[in-house]
Amino acid sequence: MSLKSKLRPLHWKDSIKARLALWYGGVFGTVLILLGVLVYFYLSKSLYANFDLSLQSTAQALAGASSTARPPSEWTVDDFIDWMNSPESLSKFFHFFDPSGHSRFQSRNLPKQTLPLTSAAFNNAAHGAVTFETFFTRQEEPIRVLTYPVIQNGRVVNILQVGGSLRQVEDLLKQVQFTLLSVLPTLFLLALAGGWLLARKALQPVDAMAQVARQITAGNRSRRIPVHQSRDELGRLAETFNAMIEELDNAIQQIRQFSADASHELRTPLTILKGETEFALRQARNVEEYQQTLASGLEEIDRISRIVEELFLLSKADLGEARLEMKPVALALLIADTVSQMELLAKEKELTLEAEPLEPLSITGDGDRLRELLLNLIENAIRYTPSPGKIALSLRREKGEAVLTVSDTGIGIPKEALPKIFDRFYRSDEARALHPKGSGLGLSICQWIVHAHRGKITAASEPGRGTTFQIRFPLTVH
């Protein structure tokens, strides 16, 4: 299934942009509402408190005036004209009662409907305490009233009521309420739009990345994501993404190369086998000739099955399914044993094969695989060393590692070929000419065996003078 068919259209609920904008708007809106409620709450509280305070200070001033001047029963309107004219008093009214609660005197601006002196307020005043009450006139106008005892020589001589309309306070609060209610939704909408724009801007590079990724999936593997700002998170993501595409591209190239190489390597022996068989069948032949053809065919079949087996081993290794039986292995003994096994082959090619020095070192490993590694390296050395020549193995301990070397005085490896010799199916032209039946998989297997033992394998070579393979294994027995 292509990526395009897998991608369904993005629902707005799945869009990070929409969710970010909603979150942003939601958080901002909640903060605004909380702030609005707080402002309204504190404003109304302080307005009411201030109103009460102004009632109280008016009452105090009136009480003071009444105590220092004539007795309240003798007061005239003139006595209060000055006070009445003062701006802060204009909106207030007052009413004097005698200690038994009978009206004595009142300001002219007192609302027509007389305010009651409630029994609670009267009782409080009789005991020298003030009382704040709120009444509503017939026109639903809220009136705040303070009942205040005027005390002289420890005796309540007058009960004073000072009142004022709360209309202005309430109007102001209503105005604030209206402003908040009309501004908050607008601010919330602005926050949503701001959140959307911010998210869009922030996520634009991600959209660009998705677009490039789609092009890459569609087959354009040379495309890369433009990295404008490599310092921020998205820049780093783009770089990582590009590196990943690069690696994927390389892996795909390698797989293609590998398939081409594998089919080529398998086709060669198959073509030989087919050609020889067809040639033999073209006319009647004697038994010897048939035997020769069959023997040669068997050789090619052997080669094919070796390649297939080696490929199978490598693919199992790639999948992590190639099991190793890890046990303590006396490496020096294994080398000596393998060398004696290969001595005859070396002698046939008039080559000397030596193993010295061999320090008695042991590692944890798979004995069979390690023998395979040694056989491959010695076989290669014999193969690519013309006589007279020498092949030498050594095993030394160095910095907590077992260092094994296999060197020869053979044809060597050209400098440009050195980095490729561990690649699957790689064979140098010279090696192909010298040994046409090689598979080019031997060193890949060697490398896998070494890596599976947590070791390292390197090659150094001088063309025409010889090659040295060095393998370092971590030592487990000291």
**What letter would DSSP give residue 134?**
E
| Closest residue by Cα to residue 149 from 46, 72, 87, 74 | 72
Tell me whether strands 389-398 and 351-358 are parallel, antiparallel or unpaired. parallel
**Interaction of residue 389 with ligand ADP, rule CB under 6 A:** no
Alpha carbons 352 and 392: distance in angstroms, whole number: 8
Q: Which listed residue (192, 209, 413, 449) binds ligand ADP by CB under 6 A?
A: 413
Told to check if 54 binds ligand ADP by CB under 6 A, we report no
> Applying CB under 6 A, which of residues 410, 447, 453, 455 lies at the interface with ligand ADP?
410
State in angstroms the smallest separation of the CB of 259 from ligand ADP: 18
Q: Which is nearer to ligand ADP, 159 or 413 (CB)?
A: 413
Using the contact rule CB under 6 A, the part of the chain among 59-67, 212-220, 286-294, 405-413 near ligand ADP is: 405-413
In 3D space, the residue among 122, 70, 61, 121 whose CA is nearest the CA of residue 94 turns out to be: 61
For ligand ADP, which residue of 55, 160, 329, 381 counts as binding (CB under 6 A)?
381
Residue 442 in the binding site for ligand ADP (CB under 6 A): yes
Closer by beta carbon to ligand ADP, 316 or else 435: 435
Least distance to ligand ADP from the beta carbon of 387, Å? 14
Q: For ligand ADP, which stretch binds (CB under 6 A), given 99-107, 172-180, 196-204, 439-447?
A: 439-447
Q: What's the number of CA atoms in the CB half-sphere (13 Å) around residue 477? A: 12
Q: Residue 399 CB: number of other CB atoms within 10 A?
A: 7
What is the smallest separation between the CB atom of 428 and ligand ADP, expressed in angstroms? 3
Q: What are phi and psi of 46, to 5 degrees?
A: -75, -30
The two tokens of residue 122 are 């009267």
Q: Which residues are CB-contacts of 227 (< 8 A; sequence separation ≥ 6)?
A: 235, 238, 239, 242
One character per residue 449-478, x = contact with ligand ADP (rule: CB under 6 A): ------------------x-----------
Whether the bond into 463 is cis, omega within 30 of 0: no
Decide whether 164 or 412 has the Cβ nearer to ligand ADP: 412
431 binding ligand ADP? (CB under 6 A): yes
Let me know: does 421 contact 427? Beta carbons within 8 Å: no
Q: Is 441 in the site for ligand ADP (CB under 6 A)?
A: yes
342 lines the binding site for ligand ADP (CB under 6 A): no
By CB under 6 A, tell whether 147 contacts ligand ADP.
Answer: no
Q: How far is the CB of 297 from ligand ADP (least distance, A)?
A: 21
Chain CA centroid to CA 90, Å: 69
Nearer CB in complex with ligand ADP: 107/407: 407
| Residue nearer to ligand ADP on the CB measure, 198 or 452 | 452
Q: Where are the beta strands (DSSP E) in 231-350?
A: 327-330
Minimal CA–CA distance to 141: which of 120, 182, 105, 169? Answer: 169
Parallel, antiparallel or unpaired: strands 155-165 and 142-152: antiparallel
Candidates 142-150, 190-198, 301-309, 376-384: pick the segment binding ligand ADP (CB under 6 A): 376-384
For residues 339 and 332, give the distance between their C-alpha atoms in angstroms, rounded to a whole number.
11
443 near ligand ADP, judged by CB under 6 A: yes
Distance CA 307, CA 267 (A): 11
Nearest one of 379, 385, 364 to 453, comparing CA atoms:
364
Q: Does 384 bind ligand ADP (CB under 6 A)?
A: yes
Select from 428, 447, 450, 457 the one that contacts ligand ADP (CB under 6 A). 428
Question: Least Å distance between CB 446 and ligand ADP?
Answer: 7
Task: Identify any residues that bridge with 362 across adjacent strands, giving them in sequence order.
Answer: 330
Please count the residues of this chain forming the interface with ligand ADP, following the rule CB under 6 A: 20
Residues that bind ligand ADP (CB under 6 A): 380-381, 384, 408, 410-413, 421, 426-428, 431, 438-443, 467
